[in-house]
Amino acid sequence: MIPQDWLPHHRDEDGELLGYLRPGEAGFVPVTLFGHPLGEAGDEHDAAAVLDEIGLSYLAGRWLLTLPDRAEPIAVQVIEADADHVRVKSIDYAADIGALFTLPVPTDRLHAQP
């Protein structure tokens, strides 16, 4: 569940939720719908500008999922994200391709693939 102190940030044009502004000591960090940081901490306006610029494009990217029983993370694609969970599908031919994983939000098990 997204913490209550995270500020939801919506796109002005249509009200679509783009992510959250996570408060901290250094300001606000723009984060995805599932809590992954998208930029450095800054003031609320700058953090919101990062989310406006990136939009939801991060949902289309490849992510790396850390699994407790594997030494190396596997490549996944986000198929669904909301305030309670994120669902991803394995796109890793070296792993169980097509396998679905549901993670609680926020999660530290997903990392952007370089």
DSSP state letter for 42? B
Q: Is residue 75 over pLDDT 90?
A: yes
SS3 assignment, position 66: coil
Q: How far apart are CA 103 and CA 114, in angstroms?
A: 21
Which amino acid is it at 74? I
Q: Is residue 30 over pLDDT 90?
A: yes
Same domain, 23 and 67: no
Q: What is the pLDDT of residue 113?
A: 87
Q: How far apart are CA 111 and CA 62, in angstroms?
A: 9
Determine the average pLDDT of the residues in 46-61: 97
User: Within its chain, how far is the Cα of 24 from the centroid?
Assistant: 18
Same domain, 78 and 41: no
Give the predicted TM-score (pTM) of the model.
0.91
Q: What is the pLDDT of residue 96?
A: 87
Q: Is residue 16 over pLDDT 90?
A: yes
Alpha helices in 1-114, H assignment, sequence order: 44-54
Determine the average pLDDT of the residues in 4-18: 97
Q: Where in the sequence is the domain holding 84, given as residue range(s)? A: 59-112
Instruction: Report yes or no on 1 lying in a domain.
Output: no
